[in-house]
Every structure is written in C-alpha cells, then in structure tokens.
C-alpha cells in the first residue's frame, strides 16, 4: 500500500498545506496540483514577460520550509507546478536545495508544450498549447530514484497514477489497476473538496478548516480515501461521491493511459474518515491526447450600478439607455447587461433595499473597453437615476483569454522523462488504443409508486457538485438511498433540468447515469461561452450551478424525504 497525499488543488491553495501534510502524519508521496485552464493563461502571460518564468513560483516558496523535512522523512514530491517551464522549475528546485544544503535528486517531465508546432499540428496561433500527458514519465523518474518530480501539463490524476504504477510495478496494460488509481487521483486532485470542502451537506458535519486528502493505493488499484487524524473536515461516501462527479462527462472517463469506467466504481464507508474505492474497471485509452489552447481574446471592463428602493426596473432601463447613447460611435464589440434583484421590499438596511445592475464589455481595442467605456459610465453620475452610485470606480480595460481544446494523435506528442542526472528517456505512446465508445445505457429501476408529495427544494434529498470544462459546465446530482434514486432517475430528466435552470433552456444538454453512485450527471455545452478566462457569466466556472439546482422547489414523495 502506498500513501499518496495531496497538498494543493489549484494555484493559490492553502500555502501551509505542504508542511501540514508532512508533519501531521505518515505519507509516502506528496502531490500538488497547480494547473487549470485559467492558470495556463496566467503562466502564458508570465512567459511573455520573461521567458525564464512560466511555472508556479508559490511551489518554490512552499518547498523552502519543507524540502528538508520531506527528504528526512523519505517522502517523494510530485507536482505539475512546472506549468510551461518544467525544466526551469527543476533547476530552481536544485538551486534551492543547494542553498539549503540539502541533497535531493530532481527530475522533470516535458514534451507537453506544443506551442512551437501549433501551426504544423493545425492548432492555430495560440498563446499556450499543451497536451495532457499521462503517468509513465513520472513513473520513470521515480523508478530512477528521483526525490522530486516536476511536470508540465499532465492529467491531474497522473500525479497519483505515476507514483502508484512505479511503486506497485504495474504494466501499461494493467487497465483495471490504472483505472482505480485514476479514480483515486480524481478524488484527491482538488484538495479539500474531498474532505468536506464545498460539500452540499456541509450542515450535517463539523467542517471547520478541512485537512487535505490522502489516497492509500493498493496493488490492485483499489484505494482508501482518508486524511490525517485530528485535522478538520470529514471523509464520507458523500464527499467522495461529490468529487467523483466533479468536472466529468460520461461514465467512460478517458485519459492518456487508460479509460476509467466510473460506472463501475463502488464506494464503502470503512470507518471514520475512511472510504474504500473498489471495482473500477479500465479500458485501453483513446489514440489521441487532449490539447488545451489559450489565446488572448481582447480586452474587457465592467461596472456595477447600485439601484436602491423603488422603481428598480425603470432605473435599470434609464441607465441602460443613457449609457447606450453615450457610447454611440465607440460601442464595444460586446456589451452584456445583467440585473441581480437582490433588493427586498420595505428593507431595514440600505444594502437589502438595493439591486445590482452589471454591465460588462469586451473589445479588441483597450481604449474602447477602457477609457471610452469607463468615462461614459461615470459621466452619468449626476444625470441619471436617483441614488446613483457604483460598487467601484470604473477602471482601465484588462486583457482576457479564451480557452478551447483540441486533440492530437499521441504518436505526434513527445513524452520525455528527464532524470536527475540529465538522462532523457522517451516514453512511448500506448501500444493499444480504443476509440471512446458510447456510454452503456443502464436499465432503469422501477419508478416509485404514486403517493403523497411535498413541494420542497431538490436539495432536501439531493447533493450536487458542478464545475467547468472550457465553455461547458457539468452538474452531478446524487442521492443517498435506493428509493431516492428510483425517484431521481425518472424525475430529473434533461427536460426537467431545463425547466429548473432556465439558462440552459436553449443549450445542448446531455444526461449520463451512474447507478453505482446513485447519481446522474448533466453536461451543458456553451453555458460558459469561451471559458473562465473570458468571464462570460456571473459564475464563470459554474461552481454554484449545482447549488442553484438544489434550491429549486420540486414535488418530492413524502416517503423519501
């Protein structure tokens, strides 16, 4: 059994987690996930300013107080903090170790950065172009004795799969074991989301400040998700289910090394803060790799008008018309208005009496999105609706990014393990591949017999977790009993989802069933426009989409409440 801990779910996560995971209990490997679609854009802009940058510098500062501790305890460190410059980060870690007087072997994995070949590969002219590599480069570095392995863009789960494969001696066709490690990696990759963070049923537990998760990975690929004893949060079948549903699509979860069958995953509570994941089946991976592409989309700006008291709709209409007139001749390419009716009648505070009218603009010209828009908005201050004020002074325009993804044949993408002594080891593409098959259609259970119902929020019985993948959003919904599942699967259809979430009414929506998890997963295409960096929506990463759904009132049979 190999104890693999996580200490970072995103670039900016809890700084102290690296040291906490090393001091609060025994672990064998410490991982850190720093990369996301928006992070790659940020690192790409960093690299434009200085070619020696492009990696997560926070990781270095965290190691400054923890590298010696990890070495003394025999803990391997594996992280994708290398971003767009894994070689640069590896050298920076070596320099840090020399300065601290610590002897460590540092290796890195590269080959994911396809920017120089983007045009040749039909990827256009992006700011960043990175293939999602798999786990075998990490495994090669660890087998060669590396103490620290840093990578560029690998799949998040590869940070767990690589160490597990190296430790247990898995072969590339040990698909069930690899798939089990993918499931474990997917659960712990987002840090405290597996230990009670952002959890739908948080009121049922003492969450406090959750500890970070640990996956105890066994030779057959099964695992136990847990956390250090005495740390905050909770690990339950529910918290693990929530994370398994996070940012997935169908039951077949494709990766560069294996396609994991999430419809075969079985969960069982083994005791306090211990959840067993078993039964995960694996299939050969697709022949292509996903490639994440970021480009600069132009410039954006925004202003939020505060509308207080009476005549909210009329006040909104007035300022919209005034600003439209003021911008005539210099209209931004995109103008988006949203009115949040946060106001309450006969309110006992001014804030509770106020609504928020938000105007966001985008344009290729920073002057149009910047000075022209800001000036026009603020010049209305004494000439518009009564009580005119804004939440913050209008600012200069800021650049925004656009994320898209593509695929490239795995054979065209180099995957190189650069060992601590400088030896370069080429990692071959998969020897066996399989096109991603349509998800199996499980047999539906019998619907519940008709009986008394009560109108209550869906969240009275259902949990949810939602997130983003480019311009698409997913929302996974699960229940906790077989009879609730029988109701959910027949009630929460695509058509019903569109009724409950009107923003999805005209968008492509797919539903997938995961009976083992008592869950359904919806994928809503185009809800997020051009992705999080483009800030196309009030909730640009769809993080709260599931909570909105849980708040909607539906008729639920009284027997399952």
263 and 310 co-located in one domain: no
Integer Cα distance of 21 and 69 in angstroms = 11
Strand extents, DSSP E, 374-518: 389-390, 398-409, 416-418, 424-426, 453-457, 463-469, 472-478, 509-514
Q: Is residue 315 part of a domain?
A: yes
Same domain? For 253 and 264 the reply is: yes
The answer to whether the CB of 478 falls within 8 A of the CB of 462 is: yes
Tokens read off for 437:
């098959």
Q: Are 224 and 215 in contact (CB under 8 A)?
A: yes
- Distance of alpha carbon 279 from alpha carbon 347, whole angstroms: 55
Measure the CA–CA gap between 440 and 57, rounded to whole angstroms: 43
Same domain? For 184 and 249 the reply is yes
Same domain, 306 and 287: no
**Per the domain annotation, does 395 fall within a domain?**
yes
Residues 372 and 462 in one domain: no
55: number of Cβ within 10 Å: 28
83: three-class secondary structure by DSSP: coil
Residue reference for tokens 């590269």: 110
Residue 17 lies in a domain: yes
Is 441 among the domain residues? no
Neighbouring residues of 323: CB distance < 8 A, sequence distance ≥ 6: 359, 376, 377, 380
Q: Is residue 392 part of a domain?
A: yes
Distance between CA 261 and CA 517 in Å, rounded? 12
CA distance 242 to 546: 11
Whole-angstrom distance, CA of residue 224 vs CA of residue 218: 8
Give the whole-angstrom CA distance, residue 513 versus residue 249.
10
Best CA proximity match to 121, nearest among 451, 524, 407: 407
CB atoms within 10 A of CB 414: 16
> What DSSP character marks residue 459?
G
Same domain membership, residue 348 and residue 263:
no
The pair of structure tokens assigned to 162 is 């690589």
Task: Tell me whether strands 424-426 and 106-110 are parallel, antiparallel or unpaired.
Answer: unpaired
Whether 481 is in a domain gets the answer: yes
Bridge partners for 405 per DSSP = 292
Alpha-carbon span 66 to 151, nearest angstrom: 19
Quick one: 536 and 499 in the same domain?
A: yes
Collapsed DSSP state (helix, strand, coil) of residue 3: strand
The reported pLDDT for the residue numbered 440 is 81
Report the largest interatomic distance among the alpha carbons of the chain, rounded to a whole angstrom.
Answer: 73
- CB–CB of 484/520 below 8 Å? no
Residues 6+ apart with CB under 8 A from 397: 299, 300, 301, 363, 366, 367, 368, 369, 370, 373
* Structure tokens, 8: 């970072």
* pLDDT at 395 (0 to 100): 86
Domain, as residue range, for 342: 296-402
How many other C-beta atoms lie within 10 A of the C-beta of residue 379? 13
**DSSP-assigned beta bridge partners for residue 301:** 361
Regarding whether 371 and 321 lie in a shared domain, the answer is: yes
Residue whose structure tokens are 């039951």: 251
240 and 353 in a single domain? The answer is no
One domain for residues 333 and 233:
no
Tokens of 262: 């999430």
When divided into structural domains, the chain yields a total of: 3
Q: Are residues 397 and 410 in the same domain?
A: no
Question: CATH number of the domain that 344 lies in?
Answer: 3.30.70.2730
- The alpha carbon torsion through 18, 421, 425, 109 (nearest 10 deg) reads 30
Residues of the chain short of pLDDT 50, as ranges, are none
**Distance, CA of 500 to CA of 505 (rounded, Å):** 9
d(CA 362, CA 118): 26
Q: Which pLDDT does position 26 carry in this prediction?
A: 98
SS3 call for 405: strand
Query: Quick one: DSSP state of residue 369?
Result: I
Residue 248, in any domain of the structure: yes
Domain contains 432: no
Q: Based on the domain organization, do 192 and 338 belong to the same domain? A: no
Contact at 8 Å (CB) between 434 and 286? yes
Residue 275: per-residue pLDDT? 98
181 token code pair: 């490690």
If you write DSSP's letter for every residue of 278-301 in order, what string do you get?
Answer: E--EEEPPPSEEEEEEEEEEEEEE
């Amino acid at each position: 059994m190999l104890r693999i801990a996580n200490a970072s779910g995103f670039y900016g996560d809890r700084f102290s987690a690296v040291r906490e995971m090393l001091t609060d209990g025994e672990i064998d490997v410490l991982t850190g996930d720093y990369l996301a679609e928006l992070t790659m854009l940020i690192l790409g802009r960093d690299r434009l300013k200085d070619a020696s940058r492009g990696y997560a510098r926070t990781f270095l500062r965290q190691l400054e107080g923890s590298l010696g501790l990890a070495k003394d305890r025999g803990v391997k460190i594996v992280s994708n903090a290398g971003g767009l410059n894994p070689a640069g980060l590896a050298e920076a870690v070596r320099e840090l170790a020399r300065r601290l007087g610590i002897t460590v072997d540092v290796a890195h994995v590269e080959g994911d950065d396809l920017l120089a070949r983007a045009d040749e590969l039909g990827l256009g002219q992006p700011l960043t172009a990175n293939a999602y590599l798999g786990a075998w480069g990490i495994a090669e570095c660890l087998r060669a004795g590396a103490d620290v392995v840093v990578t560029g863009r690998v799949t998040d789960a590869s940070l767990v799969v690589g160490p597990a494969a190296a430790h247990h001696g898995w072969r590339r066709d040990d698909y069930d074991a690899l798939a089990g490690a993918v499931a474990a990696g997917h659960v712990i990759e987002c840090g405290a989301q597996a230990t009670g963070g952002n959890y739908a049923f948080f009121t049922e537990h003492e969450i406090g400040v959750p500890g970070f998760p640990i996956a105890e990975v066994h030779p057959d690929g099964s695992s136990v998700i847990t956390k250090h004893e005495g740390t905050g949060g909770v690990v339950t079948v529910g918290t693990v289910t929530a994370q398994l549903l996070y940012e997935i699509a169908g039951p077949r979860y494709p990766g560069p090394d294996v396609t994991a069958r999430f419809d075969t995953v079985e969960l069982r509570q083994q005791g306090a803060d211990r959840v067993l994941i078993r039964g995960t089946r694996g299939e050969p991976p697709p022949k292509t790799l996903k490639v994440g592409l970021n480009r600069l989309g132009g410039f954006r700006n925004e202003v939020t008008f505060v509308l207080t008291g009476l005549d909210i709709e009329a006040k909104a209409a007035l300022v919209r018309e005034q600003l439209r007139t003021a911008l005539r001749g210099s209209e931004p390419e995109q103008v988006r208005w949203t009115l949040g009716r946060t106001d309450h009648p006969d309110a006992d505070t001014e804030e509770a009496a106020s609504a928020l009218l938000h105007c966001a603009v985008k344009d290729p010209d920073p002057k149009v999105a910047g000075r022209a828009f800001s000036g026009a908005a603020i010049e209305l201050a004494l000439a518009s609706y009564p009580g005119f004020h804004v939440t913050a002074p209008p600012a200069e325009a800021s650049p925004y990014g656009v994320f898209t993804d593509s695929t490239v044949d795995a054979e065209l993408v180099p995957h190189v393990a650069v060992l601590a002594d400088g030896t370069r080891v080429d990692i071959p593409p998969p020897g066996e591949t399989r096109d991603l098959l349509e998800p199996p259609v499980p047999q539906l259970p019998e619907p519940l017999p008709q009986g008394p119902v009560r109108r209550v929020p869906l969240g009275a019985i259902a949990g949810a977790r939602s997130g983003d993948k480019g311009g698409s959003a997913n929302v996974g919904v699960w229940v906790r009993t077989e009879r609730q599942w029988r109701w959910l699967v027949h009630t929460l259809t695509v058509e019903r989802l569109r009724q409950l979430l009107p923003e999805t009414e005209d968008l492509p929506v797919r539903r997938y069933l995961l009976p083992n998890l008592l869950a359904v997963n919806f994928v809503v295409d185009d809800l997020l426009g051009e992705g999080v960096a483009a800030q196309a929506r009030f909730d640009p990463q769809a993080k709260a989409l599931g909570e909105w759904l849980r708040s909607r009132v539906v008729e639920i049979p009284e027997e399952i409440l």
